[in-house]
């Protein structure tokens, strides 16, 4: 019933001594994160995600602190591969239409990501989990992207991506007409420190994300 909390960004760590600020929203989700990376292999920061069910009757507000680590990197002459792991903890405030008051729980966040990219192909596989006393969700995301031209650092980079997500814990499969696996077509643009993504899924819900690195 709830749609996924998932920042469709490429890496949880941008670069050493770098700060990443991200905001993403669609009709069912709003998320903001800020991570600082003291070194290229780890980062830490706060985040907030609001999940709203399709029928707008259920809402979960999750505030958390997350730790990200780069477990392994492969630097190749014309490609790069990465393995990330992340974990976090926070609190969730859940409300339900027709039910007075709100429920508060502790929530754990965990996951991992692998990616491989060249200047013309991007692939990633990510598992993102949330666990609380009242719910447990695991969201698996795969992305395949192609660039219509090979950009350089000073150019505008353009990517077209196909994204597939699988949900557990009753996030989508109970909603009539909504597929359990969500497929989204994304346009990704970035230039310098700014990264933006715009997409639409098969239910014609839009998704927008913007990220700034400094």
Residue number, 41 or 108, with CB nearest to another protein:
41
Residue number, 80 or 206, with CB nearest to another protein:
80
Residue number, 175 or 213, with CB nearest to another protein:
213
| Residue 117 C-beta: closest distance to another protein, Å | 6
Long-range contacts at 32-38 (CB < 8 A, ≥ 24 apart): 33/7, 33/66, 35/66, 35/68, 37/13
Torsion of CA 165, 129, 121, 212, to 10 degrees: 110
Positions touching another protein (CB under 8 A) are 10-11, 14-18, 39-41, 70, 73-80, 117-119, 150-153, 157, 190-193, 195, 213
Residue number, 79 or 133, with CB nearest to another protein:
79
**Spatial separation of the C-alpha atoms in residues 137 and 180, rounded to whole Å:** 13
26 neighbors 207 (Cβ within 8 angstroms): yes
Tokens read off for 117: 């990219």
**Spatial separation of the C-alpha atoms in residues 137 and 110, rounded to whole Å:** 10
Residue number, 10 or 92, with CB nearest to another protein:
10
| Residue 24 C-beta: closest distance to another protein, Å | 17
| Residue 37 C-beta: closest distance to another protein, Å | 9
| Residue 102 C-beta: closest distance to another protein, Å | 39
The beta strands (E) that lie in 40-57 are given as 42-52
| Residue 12 C-beta: closest distance to another protein, Å | 11
Handedness of CA 29, 140, 194, 156 (dihedral sign): negative
């Amino acid at each position: 019933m709830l749609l996924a909390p998932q920042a469709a960004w490429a890496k949880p760590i941008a670069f050493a001594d770098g700060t990443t600020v991200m905001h993403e929203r669609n009709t069912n989700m709003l998320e903001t994160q800020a991570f600082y990376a003291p070194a290229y292999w780890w980062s830490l920061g706060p985040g907030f995600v609001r999940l709203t069910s399709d029928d707008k009757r259920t809402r979960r507000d999750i505030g958390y602190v997350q730790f990200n680590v780069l477990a392994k990197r492969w630097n190749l002459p014309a490609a790069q591969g990465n393995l990330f792991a992340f974990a976090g903890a926070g609190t969730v405030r859940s409300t339900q239409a027709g039910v007075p008051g709100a429920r508060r729980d502790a929530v754990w966040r965990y996951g991992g990501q692998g990616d491989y990219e060249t200047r013309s192909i991007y692939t990633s596989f990510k598992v993102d989990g949330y666990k609380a006393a009242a719910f447990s969700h695991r969201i698996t995301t795969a992305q395949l992207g192609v660039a219509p031209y090979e950009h350089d650092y000073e150019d505008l980079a353009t990517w077209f991506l196909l994204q597939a997500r699988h949900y557990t814990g009753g996030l989508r499969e109970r909603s009539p007409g909504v597929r359990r696996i969500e497929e989204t077509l994304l346009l990704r643009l970035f230039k310098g420190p700014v990264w933006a993504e715009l997409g639409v899924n098969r239910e014609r819900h839009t998704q927008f994300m913007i990220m700034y690195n400094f």
